[in-house]
Every structure is written in structure tokens, then in C-alpha cells.
Amino acid sequence: MKKILALFTATCMALSLAACGSAGSTASSTAASSEATSTAEVASSTASASEATSAGTTDVAFITDVGNIDDQSFNQYTWQGVQDFCSANSLVANYYKPSEDSDAARMAQIDSAVTDGSKVIVMAGFIFAAALDEAQAKYPDTQFLAIDVGTGDLADPAANVALVTFKEEQAGYLAGYAAVTDGYKELGFLGGMSVPAVVRYGYGFVQGADAAAKELGVTDVNIKYWYSGSFVATDEIKSKMDSWYSQGTEIVFACGGSICNSCVTAAQANEGKMIGVDVDQSYLDPCVVTSAMKSLANSVNVVLSDCMANSWKFSATYAGTETKLGAAEDCVGLPMAASTFTTFTQEQYDSLYASIVDGSLVVDNGSDPAVTPAVTNVTVDYQG
């Protein structure tokens, strides 16, 4: 899934490569707001990273994907998490950008980071799976943190690898609940491919919308639901979204890479609204009401703190396994400060978020993609 059109496209491409981001209570809003680092702040931190390179030392390294460090997506916010952690602990952070989109180029930057003394190397996105598989055996004394990489990408993570994925269903639930509470009755879910992360977002979205409709006592909420089969913006997707909006769809949750391009363009043409995904996408266009977020920076801090406390080895919680982070860790949510709801309030959000954190509200993660969420008060049109 950058800055109006040119910036817009680069951002969405980075999203598609990395994956298919918490706010609310006083505690959770801190993590979400910290993900709103400005481009100027990123530029300043980039200069600091260059100085660290010249010194030839790195404590924690971040390997970028094919995007840039100011992509307002996975690169920017994962790097921000590395910087925040290192700044708080008087450590040196540095990022390394592969020369091209290839496993060999990614491995070359891992080699450089190890040579520079990195205790932990951080990366984000499934495209790192092959390089990580090689690196974990080549450098058994270096710890590797892979954000948004699961065992479906790297089947056999070694003890020096921590795989972190997210409870996207919780973020999707919050978005669906908020949209219906805010008065939207004609909703859409536009998924890219039906991969687990996208399925979880959609599964949660339908559950949240249904719960809000039930609380409001309404049965006239409708959801159009469609997987485009691609994470790339296409004329077909735009045409589909044009038809949805022209037929009365008010707001669409666009979930999956650069398909956000197609959805925003259609929303602009039809005076529709959109819900962003993974990071706060409010910068894309005023039509973006809110975003179902993964708090990437906070997620990095959670796991790096564990590693440092365990003498630069991942504890049993993270070592050699996939860990799903969610509301309880302040790692998913909605960016309430940037959202443009008209009736859904911060207090409502805080209460809902707290119920997920304390376990009184459990969101089904749709582990069986052949089974659709059970609903009572919404009608879902699953389109082929």
C-alpha cells in the first residue's frame, strides 16, 4: 500500500512489499502519535545515521526494503522504532539500504551490518525471508528481528531470530466498529490477496461493524466484500470501486498495498470515504477517515527491550518463534488524533480498546479462511 500522486505511489508500493499500526487511551495514544514522524525529522535522523556509519560502529541495524527511509510506511516507522530505542538506551542506530531488490543485495547489507558490530539486525516484510534464512545460520551470534514476517515466510526460525506479526483482526474490528458507530451504513472491504494478514483485517472489520450495529439496534448495515487478487493498483480495481461508490457505498476499508491508489482515486471522483491500513494514511487524502494501524515503532521497541534485558539474546518469548502483537502490547489500533470521525468519540474508543486489552472482548482471527464471520445485524455481500 505517497504524498499526493508521486509520493502516494511510492508509499503504497512499500506497503505491498512489507505486508498486505496503537492509539486511544492515554497509554496507547503515545505509540500511535509517535508513528507520525515528519519527513524533516526523518531527514535529520538520516544524517545522524550517516555519521554513525563513518564511525564504523552500529549497535542496532535496520535493513530497508526497496523503498526509502522516508516512505511514510514500513521503512520509516520501523526505522523510527530502532532510533527511538537506541536513543533511549545510548546506543548507535544505523540503516543499510540494499543496492537492488534481490536476496543477494539484502544479504550484502546484512554482512555490512554484522561487520559494523550490530548486536541486532531489524528488517520488515516477507521479502527478507530468503536472506534471513541464510543469515541466521551464517551469524548465529547476531540476533535478527523480522517485523511482519511469519512462519509461513520462514518456516524454521533459529533461536537467534524473532518473528513478529500482528493481530490485524483487532485493528480491523476497531475500524469496523468505529465506522458504523460514526453513522456509516454502506461499507466496503477491498482486500488485495486473501493472505492471512488481509483475511484477519477483513474478518475483524466485519465483526466490529456487526457489533456496533447490534449495539445501535440497526439491521440495515451492508458490507460489500471483495479480494482483488492483487496488491497493485489497476484500472479494474478503480472501476470496481467506482461502481461501489456510485451504488451508494459510503466508506471502503482498502487493505493491501498500492490498491489504495485505486480506491482513493475512486473515492475522490465519487465523494466517498476510505479507511487506510497498516500505518496512518491520513496524509494521502482528506477522504481517509481513519486507518487500521500496526504500531511498528512500538513493536520494535517491545522486542528490542526484551533482547537487551536478556544480554542481547531473545528471551524464550520471542526466540525462534512467531509472536503476534496486538492491543495488549499497544501494537495495533486507530490513530484517533488524525481521524475525522463526526460522532465516534475518544471515550468510546478508549472503552472498546480497554475491553480488548483486558480480554473481555475477544476478536476472532479468521484462522479458517473458508469460514466467514457469524453476523446478526449486518448483511455481507461476498463478491467473486
pLDDT for the residue 2: 32
Residues 330-342 have a mean pLDDT of 97
pLDDT for the residue 137: 98
* Domain range annotation of the chain: 28-167+296-328, 168-294+332-383
pLDDT band, residue 56 (cuts 50/70/90):
low
The answer to whether residue 1 scores a pLDDT higher than 60 is no
Nine-digit cell string for 166: 500482528
The answer to whether residue 370 scores a pLDDT higher than 60 is yes
The CATH code that applies to domain 28-167+296-328 is 3.40.50.2300
Architecture of domain 168-294+332-383: 3-Layer(aba) Sandwich (3.40)
How far is the C-alpha of 119 from the C-alpha of 141, rounded, in Å? 8
pLDDT, the chain, mean: 87
**DSSP per residue, 272-331:** -EEEEEES--TTT-TTEEEEEEE-HHHHHHHHHHHHHHTTSS--TTTTTEEEEE-GGGT-
168-294+332-383 matches 28-167+296-328 in CATH topology: yes
pLDDT for the residue 66: 85
pLDDT for the residue 376: 97
State the burial class of residue 161 (Cβ atoms within 10 Å of its Cβ: 0-12, 13-18, 19+).
buried
How far is the C-alpha of 21 from the C-alpha of 294, rounded, in Å? 2
Best CA proximity match to 96, nearest among 80, 83, 112, 82: 112
pTM as predicted: 0.86
